[in-house]
Amino acid sequence: MGANGSSYPHSCSPRIGGNTQAQQTFIGTSSYSQQGYGWESKLYSLEHGHERPADRKKKSLGLATLKRRFIKRRKSSRSADHARQMRELLSGWDVRDTNALVEEYEGTAALKELSFQASLARAEAPSLHRDLAALYQHKYCTDVDLIFQSTCFPAHRAILAARCPFFKTLLSSSPVYGAEVLMDIDTAGIDVRMFSALLHYLYTGEFGVGGAEDTRLQNVDVLVQLSEEFGTPNSLEADMKGLFDYMCYYDALLSFSSDSEMIDSCNERGAVAAAPTGGSGASGAPETPEEDLRAHKAILSARSPFFRNLLQRRIRTGEEITERTLHTHTRIVLDESIIPRKYVQVILHCMYTDVVDLGLVLRGSPSACSLGEVQALVSGGRGASTRTEEAMELYHIALFLEFSMLAQGCEDIIIESLSLDSLVPILKWSSQPYGSKWVHRQAMHFLCEEFSQVVTSDVLYELGKEHLLSAIQSDYLQASEQDILKYVVKWGEQQLIKRMADREPNLLSGTAHSVNKRGVKRRDLDVEELKEILSPLLPFIRTEHILPPNSDVLSDALKRGLISTPPSDMLPTAEGGKSNAWLRQKNAGIYVRPRLFSPYVEEAKSVLDEMMVEQTDLVRLRLVRMSNVPDTLYMVNNAVPQCCHMINHQQMAGGSGTAPSVVANEIPVPPLSVVKDMIRRLHELRHTEQVQRAYALNCGEGATVSYELQLRVLREFGLADGATELLQNPSKFFPDERFGDESPILALRQVGRCRVNSSPAMDSMITELEGVAGFHPPLPP
User: Any residues with CB less than 8 A from the CB of 676 and at least 6 apart, and which?
Assistant: 739
Sequence letter at residue 772:
V
Sequence letter at residue 360:
L
Is the pLDDT higher at 342 or at 272? Answer: 342
CATH of domain 128-234: 3.30.710.10
For position 569, what pLDDT does the model report?
65
* Bridging pattern class, strands 329-335 and 32-33: unpaired
pLDDT band at 657 (very low <50, low <70, confident <90, very high): low
Q: Are 556 and 564 in contact (CB under 8 A)?
A: no
DSSP 230-267: H-----HHHHHHHHHHH-TT--EEEEEE--HHHHHHHH
**pLDDT surpassing 60 at residue 26:** no
For position 189, what pLDDT does the model report?
76
- Residues facing 253 on adjacent strands: 294, 331
**Which range is least confidently modeled, 203-207, 450-454, 504-508?**
504-508
Sign of CA dihedral 773, 774, 777, 781: positive
For position 261, what pLDDT does the model report?
55
Strands in 303-424 per DSSP E: 329-335, 355-356
Q: Are 728 and 719 in contact (CB under 8 A)?
A: no
* pTM of the predicted protein model: 0.79
Is the pLDDT higher at 640 or at 398? Answer: 398
How many Cβ atoms are within 10 Å of 772's Cβ, its own excluded?
Answer: 13
Among 419, 415, 397, residue whose Cα is nearest residue 406: 397
How confident is the model over 50-76, as a mean pLDDT?
47
Q: pLDDT digits over 221-261, tens only?
A: 667 777 878 887 799 999 999 999 999 989 899 998 887 65
The helix/strand/coil state of 496 is helix
For position 144, what pLDDT does the model report?
92
d(CA 531, CA 688): 47
DSSP 564-604: SS--GGGSTT--STTHHHH-STT--S---PPP--HHHHHHH
Q: pLDDT digits over 572-591, tens only?
A: 554 555 557 898 888 767 88
Indicate the domain borders of the chain. Answer: 128-234, 244-403, 480-594, 631-768
Q: Are 694 and 755 in contact (CB under 8 A)?
A: no
> Sheet of 25-26: strands edge to edge?
25-26, 15-16, 355-356
For position 503, what pLDDT does the model report?
78
Name the percent of the chain lying above pLDDT 70: 66
DSSP code of 44? P
For residue 735, whether the previous peptide bond is cis, meaning omega lies within 30 degrees of 0, is no
Find the helix or strand (DSSP H, E) in which 2 lies.
none
Phi, psi of 736 (to 5 degrees): -85, -5
For position 507, what pLDDT does the model report?
46
**Which range is least confidently modeled, 179-193, 232-246, 505-519, 558-572?**
505-519
Find the helix or strand (DSSP H, E) in which 144 lies.
strand 144-148
Phi, psi of 355 (to 5 degrees): -115, 130
Q: pLDDT digits over 133-171, tens only?
A: 999 999 999 989 999 999 999 999 999 999 998 999 999
For position 323, what pLDDT does the model report?
63
d(CA 740, CA 572): 52
Calculate the average pLDDT of the chain.
76
How confident is the model over 406-428, as a mean pLDDT?
96
d(CA 312, CA 320): 9
pLDDT band at 279 (very low <50, low <70, confident <90, very high): very low
pLDDT band at 477 (very low <50, low <70, confident <90, very high): very high
Q: pLDDT digits over 717-727, tens only?
A: 999 999 999 99
